[in-house]
Amino acid sequence: MQYNFKYLIIPIMIISIFFLYSCNNTDKLVLADNGMVSSAHPLASQVGVDILKDGGNAFDAAVAVHFALSVVYPNAGNIGGGGFAVYRLNDGTVGSLDFREKAPSSSSRNMYLDENNEVYKNKSKLGHLASGIPGSVDGMVKLHDKFGSIDWKLILEPSIKLSNDGFQLTKKQAISLNSVKESLLKLNDSKISLINDTKWKENDLLIQKNLSKTLKRIQISKRDGFYSGKTAELLIKEMNEGNGIFTLEDLKNYSSIWRKPIIGNYKNHNIISMGPPSSGGIALVQMLNGAEKLNVNNYEHNSKDYIHMITEIESRVYADRATYLGDPDFLEVPSKTLISNKYLENKFSSITLNNKTPSSDIKEGKIEINETEETTHFSIVDKFGNAISLTTTINGSYGSKVVVDGAGFLLNNEMDDFSIKPGFPNMFGLTGGEANAIEGNKRMLSSMSPTIVEKEDELLMVLGTPGGSTIITSVFQTILNVIDYNMNMQEAVDAKKFHHQWLPDAIIIEENTINNNIKNSLIEMGHNFKERSSIGRMDCILVNESGKFEGGSDKRGDNIAIGY
């Protein structure tokens, strides 16, 4: 029998178009005209959009989303942690808020070292001594007092309801809660709502009555609903019973701080990001400077040459982080110098296309980087033209694993972000020294990089992600994806990421980022690789050429952008 192939052409074309269409990320690109919220959980994004639709501005929505995430995304959303926000008002004014945790006042430099000067295993990571004084509630109150437009009580209402009535777990959340059950049981009794007698399943209802009562107290008394009164009493009781060192004074004295953001430049775009005590803004601006100087846009995206050049830039930037950066209230941080043209003039000049520079002599094998994406970021734009980029965390997944008895919220393990011993790597493999040594009331150095990008002085992008040390490099590569590789916001978020942080001397790469030929030729040059399943959970928004908002929410998680 003979086939006439011409009859196959049309079906083949239809199948090909369908295939191309389904491979193209634009099919899930979320577009909107008025406002948008991109966050790690559908319910939190919905809470934010509802506030925007009801006439609230981006700041009202941000505060509501932050509280909602403390309910529906307990592994990172929080009232027991801290974070940073970078904003841009509709008149172009930019600013930032630092609500990072502080070391309890009686903290001391060697508190995690034994009598032989060795680091106690896990003391900075697990349990009561791992926590800094939470900053999130004070931060949200400050943000709302300054920029909010709708009643504080209305902003708290959705999270009180979600915690009191419960919400359905996603599949990823059920798996995550099951995986942490053992550690939660070690540090809490089985009464806490995050622990279920049987295994959690998708769509199970998570009800958090104690958390709901705490949120109610915050709704009624704002800051005092957390830092004094019943919540503070419960917190101090929890600390006393678990050998923690928080005092009531520490809670009363906590205050978030308005700071000048870091402002840099990339090919006529303004980069507005977080300054110390986050390293994010300085490091990001340095990386972009390197990318511009070395014209990395000449190389094919994620090709051998591109990965080589980018990781050479990244490793040089992380070397500065370890040496110079810490809490600006405790030391002189040379922020301006570190991003000045003069300082950066020669920083990247030793990079060549054909040679890999080895990182300084390190004791290989001692440094492990945990695979965790357990901070959370959200981006919001409103119909008035305001934008806010906010990253918040309890550090590791479910923080210190301690839930405050009777108050229903998890405490952070942010103390691990300090340099607990010079040269000793934290859970992200980051090392440090004097600048980030522990002192009472000091803020620990962070990598969180909530960022806003302007093009010709107009809002272009709102970006950020969790990922510990990989936060900065993910934001860096996402900016290049849009500006140099013309990706839309969703494509830029979806694109595979890789990461180098100087120490350890290895490229951390997402599975299937590059083929074996490319990988082998990089290995021949002297690069080392470590693979992990994913890097980043980005939540970004772009204002495209037609003035529409484009959402870019990370499908590596349950993240979703909702607009209207």
Give, as ranges, the residues between 453 and 492 that touch ligand DON (CB under 6 A): 466-468, 471
Q: Are 103 and 444 in contact (CB under 8 A)?
A: yes
Between 170 and 375, CB nearer to ligand DON: 375
d(CA 254, CA 429): 29
Give, as ranges, the residues between 394 and 423 that touch ligand DON (CB under 6 A): 395, 414, 417
Question: Which one of residues 131, 393, 451, 478 is an interface residue with ligand DON (CB under 6 A)?
Answer: 393
d(CA 100, CA 448): 10
d(CA 137, CA 211): 13
Contact flag: residue 58 with ligand DON (CB under 6 A): no
CA distances from 137 to 29, 52, 194, 217, 395 (A): 33, 21, 21, 12, 16
d(CA 88, CA 384): 11
Between 35 and 467, CB nearer to ligand DON: 467
Between 242 and 276, CB nearer to ligand DON: 276
* Residue 422 CB neighbours (<10 A): 13
Question: Which one of residues 51, 58, 448, 508 is an interface residue with ligand DON (CB under 6 A)?
Answer: 448
With helix as H, strand as E and coil as C, how does 490-514 read? HHHHHCCCEECCCCCCCEEEECCCC
Angle between helices 470-483 and 280-293 (to 10 degrees): 40
Instruction: Measure the N-to-C terminal CA separation of the chain; round to a whole number of Å.
Output: 57
d(CA 434, CA 330): 11
Residue 462: beta bridge partners?
452, 541
Rg, the chain, Cα only: 23
Size of the site for ligand DON (CB under 6 A): 15
Give, as ranges, the residues between 320 and 379 that touch ligand DON (CB under 6 A): 372-375
Between 206 and 448, CB nearer to ligand DON: 448
Contact flag: residue 447 with ligand DON (CB under 6 A): yes
Q: How far is the CB of 445 from ligand DON (least distance, A)?
A: 8
Between 315 and 375, CB nearer to ligand DON: 375
Look up tokens 């939660």; give the residue: 184
Is 375 considered catalytic here? yes
Give, as ranges, the residues between 117 and 136 that touch ligand DON (CB under 6 A): none
Q: How far is the CB of 59 from ligand DON (least distance, A)?
A: 22
* Residue 58 CB neighbours (<10 A): 33
Q: How far is the CB of 444 from ligand DON (least distance, A)?
A: 7
Between 375 and 436, CB nearer to ligand DON: 375
Q: How far is the CB of 475 from ligand DON (least distance, A)?
A: 12
Q: How far does CA 85 lie from the centroid of its chain?
A: 11
Between 157 and 414, CB nearer to ligand DON: 414
Q: How far is the CB of 39 from ligand DON (least distance, A)?
A: 15
Q: How far is the CB of 427 from ligand DON (least distance, A)?
A: 8
Annotated active-site residue in 311, 375, 465, 470: 375
Q: How far is the CB of 448 from ligand DON (least distance, A)?
A: 5
Residue 379: beta bridge partners?
38, 389
DSSP 5-64: THHHHHHHHHHHHHHHHHH-GGGG-EEESS-EEEESSHHHHHHHHHHHHTT--HHHHHHH
Contact flag: residue 436 with ligand DON (CB under 6 A): no
d(CA 338, CA 126): 34
Between 157 and 373, CB nearer to ligand DON: 373
Q: How far is the CB of 128 from ligand DON (least distance, A)?
A: 18
The residues binding ligand DON (CB under 6 A) are 372-375, 393, 395, 414, 417, 446-448, 466-468, 471
Which residue numbers are catalytic?
A: 375
